Amino acid sequence: MKHISVYDPTAKDAQSRVRGIGRYYQTLREALDTLDHMEPSNKADSSNVAAVSPFQTTSSNPADNLLIQYTSDIKNIKKEDIAVNPFFSPIQKPVSVHKVGSKRIAVIHDIIPLKYPKRFPLGLRGKWYEFLCNRAKNKYDVIITDSEASKQDLINIYKIPQNNIKVIYPTVPRMFLPHVDSHSAHHPFHTDEEGIKPEFTPLDFAKMSSNKNLTNLNDFVIYVGDATWNKNLPALAQAVKLANVNCVCVGKVFEPKQGQTKPHPWHTSLLQFLKMVEGDKRFIFPGFVSDIELLTLYKRAKTNLLLSHDEGFGLSFIEAGFMSTPSILSDIPVFREIAGNAADFVGGNNPKDIAQKIVEHYYDSVRQEKMSIMAFDRAQDYHPKRFQQKWVEVLTFI
């Protein structure tokens, strides 16, 4: 029996719960908490998830061999445990793990701030943390990252040995999975005499949300995420204006800041974006929303926009995909890796090109339907079962 201790970085940091950190911890905990229901890897996988190597354990169920605990205090991790840190930032004060755990695993989602130091000034404290993190990363036996593109950054820029890095693609919360007729063998999108027929359970937003500003929203494009320079929000604003459509921007970062006089230097592009859209009723800012509200917004959106200059992954692509909503992505390597041919790619610095694709998704129902099905199919490559299997592989063989 292996004892796994997972550090919870969100317990003492309320802000992290509503960011990508919180989303990753949520999906990791869902994966580990459902090991009892995990199908052995030697069985045929009905969800068409890529196979992984058989577990070399004494039982076909990994829950019989992996004992999981969660803690917000690193001191609770014993020396004989396998310690998991699901969020290692190269520029934040590192968690001290040198005296805990027989083996140690860290997740480094990306190193965007280190790739673009002029866009992400650190200050003296940040520089000191960067120095400490550069030493602390060597205390980990395995580094998990979100994509092959991010892996190459860790090798080339952060100087982590290739053999120490494993790629595990992130996933979505299980509530994003389609609710379809379990007795039916056909694809959730199938054809009958009337054409293509989606077979998702309808979502009644009015019963799911008390937010009256959201329940009546229809006919819009959506952006979900942060607002740092790499998100390329000024180009998004220009493109939406040229396309003359409504755009819902989801994220706590878009909520009004009370009493803040000096903006964070990382958010200069956010200020530029907000000035560009000030007073423009086409831009709607619901702020932070619940998961049920988010999946319903994705479902109602004509398309999802992710026009980043750079990313470690591209979570909104798969979240939207599970809701059968297509995406328009900037043409960068990581998005080609994640989306394959199941998205429309645009030049991130070409608002006219972006606007043209938005118009196609907005008004061309045939194109929108085709891309919806492709996005849904591609999203299945990032199914929670696959995420779970890959994590069990790492925990089993470390």
Paired with 67 in beta bridges are 3
Residue 246 token pair: 């409504």
Q: Is the pLDDT of residue 262 over 80?
A: no
**DSSP calls for 352-376:** HHHHHHHHHHHH-HHHHHHHHHHHH
Domains 2-171+383-397 and 174-382 in one fold? yes
Q: Are the beta carbons of 342 and 377 closer than 8 angstroms?
A: yes
Q: By mean pLDDT, which of 105-109, 174-178, 191-195, 300-304 is the weakest?
A: 191-195
282 has a pLDDT exceeding 80: yes
Provide the residue ranges of all domains of the chain, joining segments of one domain with +: 2-171+383-397, 174-382
pLDDT at 180: 52
Arithmetic mean of pLDDT, 165-192: 73
Burial label, 306 (beta-carbon count in 10 A; 0-12, 13-18, 19+): buried
pLDDT tens digits for range 128-157: 999 999 999 999 999 999 999 999 999 999
Q: What is the pLDDT of residues 104-132, one digit of tens each?
A: 999 999 999 999 999 999 999 999 999 99
pTM (2 decimals)?
0.87
**Amino acid 57: pLDDT:** 36
Q: Is the pLDDT of residue 20 over 50?
A: yes
More confident residue, 202 or 353: 353
Q: Place 44 in a pLDDT band, splitting at 50, 70 and 90.
A: very low
Average pLDDT of span 239-248:
97
Average of per-residue pLDDT across 173-191: 64
- Position 197 scores a pLDDT of 56
Nearest 5°: phi and psi at 7? -75, 135
Lowest mean pLDDT among 5-9, 177-181, 212-216: 177-181
DSSP string, 216-280: T--S-EEEES--SGGG-HHHHHHHHHHHT--EEEESGGGSPPTT--S--GGGHHHHHHHHHHTT-
CATH number for region 174-382:
3.40.50.2000
Residue 313 has what pLDDT?
A: 96
Q: Residue range 41-65: average pLDDT?
A: 49
| Region 2-171+383-397: CATH code | 3.40.50
Q: Which residue has the tokens 């070399």?
A: 56
